[in-house]
């Protein structure tokens, strides 16, 4: 093996070891691995079981207290992103704590219909949440019937 190939392999090995070392050090930071699923207080009065089933499939992992935490949610830095996304989503709409009231809930149907919800990166990791066009429209209509539409949101 010539010196050039050996030097390249050495650099690759050092680079890989450095990346592994950084990932291991990141595991010391505790944020993002203490996952909680508080009990369900009250759900909205769903317009139909089908709307709830579609919402469970496409929304509940982030917008409820019934989050299914994937394996990578225990590994930093992915755990940080997952924890942040779930906390942010629950603060906007949490279907498990519906008695709190959510100012932006009237936009859920519109955001679902436009394809903004569920977000693309979530659909990539969770193919079951990648609704067909018909399912997305059905869920949007159901969310509007259950939560109200944007015309009912105060300015």
Tens-place pLDDT, residues 33-58:
778 899 999 999 999 999 999 999 99
Average pLDDT, the chain: 89
Residue 97: strand pairing partners? 42
Domain boundaries, given as residue ranges, for the chain: 31-152
Residues of the chain above pLDDT 70, percent: 94
Mean pLDDT, rounded, for 78-103: 92
Mean pLDDT, rounded, for 92-109: 91
Residue 4 — pLDDT band, cuts 50, 70, 90? confident
Name the residue with higher pLDDT: 151 or 28.
Answer: 28
Exposed / middle / buried, residue 81 (Cβ in 10 Å: 0-12, 13-18, 19+) = middle
Query: For position 53, what pLDDT does the model report?
Result: 97
Q: How far apart are CA 60 and CA 40, in angstroms?
A: 12
Q: How far apart are CA 75 and CA 25, in angstroms?
A: 11
Mean pLDDT, rounded, for 95-124: 92
Query: For position 3, what pLDDT does the model report?
Result: 85
Query: For position 10, what pLDDT does the model report?
Result: 85
Nearest alpha carbon to residue 140 among 25, 83, 68, 58 = 58
Return the structure tokens found at 49: 């079981």
| 109 in Cβ contact with 143 (< 8 Å) | yes
Query: For position 23, what pLDDT does the model report?
Result: 76
Query: For position 155, what pLDDT does the model report?
Result: 42
| 94 in Cβ contact with 66 (< 8 Å) | no
């Amino acid at each position: 093996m010539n010196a050039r190939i050996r030097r390249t392999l050495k650099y690759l090995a050092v680079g890989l070891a450095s990346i592994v070392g950084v990932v291991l050090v990141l595991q010391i930071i505790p944020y993002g691995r203490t996952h909680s699923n508080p009990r369900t207080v009250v759900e909205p009065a769903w317009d139909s079981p089908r709307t709830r089933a579609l919402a469970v499939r496409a929304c509940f992992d982030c917008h409820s207290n019934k989050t299914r935490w994937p394996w990578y949610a225990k590994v930093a830095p992915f755990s940080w992103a997952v924890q942040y996304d779930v906390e942010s989503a629950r603060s906007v709409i949490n279907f498990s704590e519906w008695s709190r009231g959510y100012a932006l809930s009237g936009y859920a149907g519109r955001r679902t219909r436009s394809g903004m919800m569920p977000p693309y990166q979530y659909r990539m990791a969770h193919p079951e949440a990648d609704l067909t066009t018909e399912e997305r429209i059905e869920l949007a209509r159901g969310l509007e019937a259950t939560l109200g539409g944007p015309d009912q949101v105060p300015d």
